[in-house]
């Protein structure tokens, strides 16, 4: 059973909002200042286990990394819900930052992060369209291929 229109849209599209993942370090998952929610980086998890490990162009496919990006996006939304109580309080997604562990010659980072961007549009409609970065990096925490962070505007 869903608690919000956002969760219903996600469910209708085949996505399930997980339990908010515990922080993996000395930080808080979300900081709300006025009507702005800043979400810390989230790694791709499934059933409490890190997934989508590896580096693009070396040992993980674009499709596997895209699935990881979707899982990380769901983790972001779970953290946001835990902080604000209801995802229907989101006015819009302002920014999504995506980091992709990849080899120096891999240049399709935007293709990976598009999976997370598309999920935000599923969840929030036109208000899910956002500013974005898709950055290639040498390595990410715990050996995952994708990490996401985001900024949301609240109602």
CATH classification of the domain holding 128: 3.30.1330.40
Mean pLDDT of all residues in 34-42:
97
CA-CA distance, 53 to 142, in Å (whole number)?
A: 8
Q: What's the predicted TM-score (pTM) here?
A: 0.96
Residue 72 lies in a domain: yes
Residue 1 has pLDDT above 60, yes or no: no
The percent helix, strand, coil of the chain (3-state, each to 5) is 35, 30, 30
Confidence of residue 24 (pLDDT cuts 50, 70, 90): confident
Residue 144 lies in a domain: yes
Question: What are the structure tokens assigned to 9, written together?
Answer: 């849209």
Residues 81, 17: contact at Cβ < 8 Å? yes
Residue 137 lies in a domain: yes
How many angstroms separate the first and last alpha carbons of the chain? 24
Residue 19 has pLDDT above 90, yes or no: yes
- Residue 108 has a pLDDT of 97
Residue 123 lies in a domain: yes
User: pLDDT tens across 47-106, in order?
Assistant: 999 999 999 999 999 999 999 999 999 999 999 999 999 999 999 999 999 999 999 999
- Residue 68 has a pLDDT of 98
| Domain span holding position 38 | 5-18+28-154
- Show the DSSP H helices in the chain as ranges: 5-12, 62-84, 109-124
- Residue 3 has a pLDDT of 77
Residues 38, 28: contact at Cβ < 8 Å? no
Number of domains in the chain: 1
Residues 62, 108: contact at Cβ < 8 Å? yes
> Whole-number mean pLDDT of the chain?
96
Confidence of residue 23 (pLDDT cuts 50, 70, 90): confident
Residue 2 has pLDDT above 70, yes or no: no
- Residue 125 has a pLDDT of 98
Residue 57 lies in a domain: yes
Question: What are the structure tokens assigned to 116, written together?
Answer: 């997370």
Residue 23 lies in a domain: no
Confidence of residue 123 (pLDDT cuts 50, 70, 90): very high
CA-CA distance, 104 to 67, in Å (whole number)?
A: 22
């Amino acid at each position: 059973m869903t608690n919000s229109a956002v969760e219903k849209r996600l469910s209708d599209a085949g996505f399930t909002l997980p339990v908010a993942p515990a922080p993996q370090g000395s930080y808080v998952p979300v900081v709300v200042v006025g009507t702005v929610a800043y979400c810390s980086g989230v790694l791709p998890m499934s059933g409490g286990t890190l997934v989508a490990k590896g580096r693009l162009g070396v040992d993980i496919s674009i499709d596997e990394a895209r699935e990881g990006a979707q899982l990380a996006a769901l983790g972001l939304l779970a953290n946001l819900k835990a902080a604000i109580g209801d995802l229907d309080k989101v006015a819009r997604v302002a920014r999504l930052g995506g980091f992709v562990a990849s080899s120096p010659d891999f240049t399709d980072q935007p293709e990976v992060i598009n999976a997370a961007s598309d999920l935000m549009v599923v969840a929030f409609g036109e208000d899910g369209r956002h500013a974005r970065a898709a950055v290639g990096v040498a390595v990410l925490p715990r050996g995952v291929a994708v990490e996401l962070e985001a900024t949301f505007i609240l109602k």
